Structure 1
Amino acid sequence: MKFSLGKFTPNTLGGILLSLALALSIIVVLIALYFFIYLPKVTNHLESITVPNIEGMKVSELEDFLLTKDLRYEISDSSYSSKYPPLTVLKQYPHPGAKVKEGRKIFISVNRIDAPTVPLPNLIDGSVVNADAVLTSNELKRGRIILVAGPFNVVKEMKYKGAHIEPNVRVPKGAVIDLVVMDGGNGRGFPMEDMTGQDFEDAKVYILGANLNVGTVKVIGDTVGITPVILKQIPEPGETIKAGDVVDLWIGAPGTEPLDE
């Protein structure tokens, strides 16, 4: 039995054109099936995953956590921050909230185990204000001010972890440096200011400016989303104090009653 195209036989022009049209139609259908059915299925077209926030997470927890999200990770570099424990995620790419495909690799920067070191700047014979600025610019922190008798109000000695330390000795970034400061010949006491009701940050400015030290800070109640104020202080207002004394503070929301201790 022979298949017939009617008057369009394979040997006629009409038959050739019809054959070409049929072949072209088949090609178009195959292309459509590939791009709109097969390819989207393979590449999860129009399906996406929201990248979670993994900054601050321990690296040891990442693999199991990301597997539940159908994601992977790769360590791209490392740096250091004193705000996070060692071997935690400092940065990530793509950023949290980004839309990615299943199986996407998240590149992370990890906090180093050991802090990089910096040379301790020479603060001797300089003012406390200058010492604060220099320490901050070198990613170091100022600790306690220890007042000693002396004719000038300048730094006499630097200490690290309670021991004397010389300039240019390398210390870890974020290290706390205590300063031994001469009192400028003024060893007399002065009355403690009443800081009750003041913003916590304003109170700290007064304490440090008076060459006092912030001691224990106790938070009373919930302070999330508010500016805490001073509820209680020791030494109490009007009490005679001297430069270098420690001031303990109780802070909380305005109107909160401090605990009696």
Structure 2
Amino acid sequence: MKEKFLNSKLKRFAAYFLAFFIFVFFLNRLFLPWLVSSDPIIVPNVVGMDKEDAKNLLSSNGLNPIEIGQRFDNKIPINHVLFQRPHFGSQVKSNRRVYIYISGGEEQVSMPRLIGRSAREARILLDRLGLKISSIEEIESDENSGIIIAQQFSEGTKLYKNDYVFLKVSIGPQSGKVKVPNLISKSLKEGEIILRSYNLYLGRRTYITSTSLLTNTIIDQYPSPDNLVAIGDSIDVIISKSK
């Protein structure tokens, strides 16, 4: 009986000793190092730094840099730190995450196609994109007056907001010139009326037999439509006739 009691007591003592040993081991290996290293770290200022330099600086201070996004900014250069959290001067523990936002640089826009648009449409479209017109050169062309015929940058070119764009706009044909109207499929009488409205005249008339067209239908013309001719010129036509 006494022997059983002693054995039980020894077992209890051994269990207590083992538990104490485990506690001391935990205290020595885990808790004490954490306690020693728990002195606060002052977060350095990395705003405005190159992102790689910023990450290296944070890591060398025992912190864990995390890049979480990119934002456009016209003050901070591209690939430089725009914002950090926690802020500069904050006191944190070792290995604390420091989140950094990276600048995407100044925002860019794509140059639209302006050729064929009116000067007014071009101004409105450029204004919406934040682009400005440096100057507009007026050019004589066969396009209608007020239509954009050339632009400094091709469609899709990347530009920064507030960049300037040079344009050329048509002021119409050369003085004394007119664009030849399309007479094809018109009747001879209609053709004459149209030509008079352009201060042009019917020239040589050539007749060919046609079974599918009404008599006196204009089949072809010379000069062809959209060519520039002098005011008062004549337009030769080929006209259908029945058998």
TM-score, normalised to structure 2, is 0.42
The structure richer in helix per residue is: 2
